[in-house]
Amino acid sequence: MSDIMEATGLEKGGIYRHFGSKEEIAQAAFQYAVEASTKLRTSGIEDIDSPLEALRVMIAQFVHTPSGVAGGCPLMNTAIDADDGNEKLREMAREAFKAWRGRLTTILERALISGEIRADTDVAWISTSVIIMLEGAVMLSRLERRKDPLLHAQRTLNVLLDSVASGIE
């Protein structure tokens, strides 16, 4: 609370006039962080005609663009920290992951329709694999204080996308 009071210049009463509890503050902060991070990492994707290229750009932006908020990936941090404490925050993290997977699935389904990826491609598997690979790479990158894990994840995901591409990009 003292950090929030310092950053906003408000007293505790002023903060609690807008929020009923610390949990509500955490939920609002999470919502803001996820929206800011998503906007930053998906910027310009809608302007790319090729769904497969859009996915590659989205992966590259995740790898090369920090989340936009201090502390790393707000989604991973919240998913881990909210596991036992704030059930509403845990549900918000679960919904944010679901939305991310949905964005990836939509792009891959467009690639199926356009013929950019093979008809037998399991888009749910790829969508989930992208998230697993990128979030794991964020964790290792932060732990090792090196960007290599993120770069390796990007390279591996591009190989995965190459393996399902139909060759008519």
Residue 157 has pLDDT above 60, yes or no: yes
| Whole-number Å distance between alpha carbons of 87 and 160 | 35
Asked if residue 13 is part of any domain, the answer here is no
Tell me if 86 is assigned to some domain. Answer: yes
Residue 167 has pLDDT above 80, yes or no: no
- The answer to whether the pTM exceeds 0.95 is no
Tokens 């859009």 belong to: 54
Residue-level pLDDT at 141: 93
Is residue 1 domain-resident?
no
**Range of 137's domain?**
22-164
Whole-number pLDDT of residue 150: 97
Give the span between the Cα atoms of 89 and 81, in whole angstroms: 9
Q: Is residue 12 part of a domain?
A: no
Residues facing residue 165 across a β-bridge: 117
Model confidence at 169: pLDDT above 60: no
Domain presence at residue 112: yes
Question: What is the model's pLDDT at position 122?
Answer: 97
Does some domain include residue 42? yes
Residue 4 lies in a domain: no
In a domain, 132, yes or no: yes
The stretch 31-52 carries a mean pLDDT of 94
* Confidence check: pLDDT of 168 > 90: no
CATH number, position 114: 1.10.357.10
> How many domains does the structure of the chain reveal?
1
| Separation of first and last alpha carbons in the chain | 52
Please tell me what DSSP assigns to residue 117.
B
CA 38 – CA 31 distance, rounded (Å)? 11
pLDDT of the residue at 22: 84
Whether 42 shows a pLDDT value over 90: the answer reads yes
pLDDT in tens, 94-145: 999 999 999 999 999 999 999 999 999 999 999 999 999 999 999 999 899 9
